[in-house]
Amino acid sequence: MIPTKQDIRKLNEDQLKTWLTGHGEQGFRSKQIQEWLWKRSVRTFDEMTNLSLKTRQLLAEHFEVRTLAVSKQQQSSDGTIKSSFRLYDGNLVEGVLIPALRKDEDNRMTACISSQVGCSLTCKFCATGYMDRKRNLEASEMVDQVVAIDQQAKEAYGSGLTNIVYMGMGEPLLNYQNMLESVERITSPNGLGMAAKRITVSTAGIAKMIKKLGDDQVKFNLALSLHAANDDKRNQIMPINESNSLPALAEALNYFYQKTGTRVTFEYIVFNNFNDTLQDAKELWQFTKKVPAKVNIIEYNPIAEADFTNTDADKLDQFAGFLENRGVIVNIRRSRGKDIDAACGQLAGKQ
């Protein structure tokens, strides 16, 4: 579907003010309209009740509010909810609501959102990596996923979102400006008003963009999908490593830390008989000494396109124990939503 009108959410407050005054409207209406769009999340001009009928008709004549719709929703046996979102042009992306399971998780409600339709990075263990990248998501489309998942959380669990992770489909740092704008809209008092420290952006590792995050002094958390602390192994499963080696990433991550003071999280999926030995743990420990970091060890979630399997429980415990005995902060992340293909690495926008 080819849009016939301009997307009003692509205009900032000043641009909208200029447009309004050029069409005989009062400039202060721009702030009201922006509040309706970003703070109250309305999706039709008719809902903007403090605007005159004439102003609303003028806006509807020239603009549209491009929205996403839930195409399909599934609930896992563990309470995780996965949604397939249909975008204004018919493309699909997936987002996930992950409710807290344990009392020590502080009633956490996490939204996992996508940043691209598909992905160009071809990581061998990830379902999205077997798709083509069709396009970047607009900032508004990332915000809309958060709004939709927040509503799901309130309806299903009586509690809104507490955390957001950019860990769905796509590489956020290859959609840099839209991703940053979406974070600004989510955290702004004139937007959704969430704390930046409740947001984590995950990257497969693009050194120059990690440095740019540092230069921009972002306030959110950064996670690196590491999965091997050995260039030869990482090249095998993550082709991006061939142009962004571990030494280059270590330099970029240290630059990010110096600029922001934020410790990085290393995400490490343990694959059976690939990266789960004590030698692999030793290499990971040595890499953590180069960059102030903590480690999330993640269970692997099988996909049809790849032959990897999850390591066994004893190996996983030995791996984690090796790191903990050397002072590394380690969390073991158990899979959530595996039975509906909603777990880490399984999102692919399939119907």
Ordered DSSP codes for 110-156:
EEE--SEES-SS--TT-SGGGSPP-EEPPHHHHHHHHHHHHHHHHHH
What backbone phi and psi angles, to 5 degrees, belong to 161? -65, 145
Instruction: Name the catalytic one among 138, 141, 267, 344.
Output: 344
Instruction: Name the catalytic one among 64, 94, 267, 299.
Output: 94
* 62 marked as binding residue: no
* 227 marked as binding residue: yes
* 52 marked as binding residue: no
Tell me which DSSP letter residue 5 carries: S
- What's the rounded Cα separation, in Å, for the pair 137 and 95? 13
- CA-to-CA dists, residue 238 to 97, 137, 245, angstroms: 27, 23, 11
* 112 marked as binding residue: no
- What's the rounded Cα separation, in Å, for the pair 164 and 198? 6
- CA-to-CA dists, residue 67 to 73, 193, 239, angstroms: 17, 20, 34
- What's the rounded Cα separation, in Å, for the pair 41 and 248? 41
* 226 marked as binding residue: yes
Please indicate whether residue 181 is annotated as part of the active site. Answer: no
Please indicate whether residue 112 is annotated as part of the active site. Answer: no
* 171 marked as binding residue: yes
* 64 marked as binding residue: no
Residue set of the binding site for [4Fe-4S] cluster: 119, 123, 126
Catalytic residues: 94, 344
Residue set of the binding site for S-adenosyl-L-methionine: 170-171, 202, 225-227, 301
Residue set of the binding site: 119, 123, 126, 170-171, 202, 225-227, 301
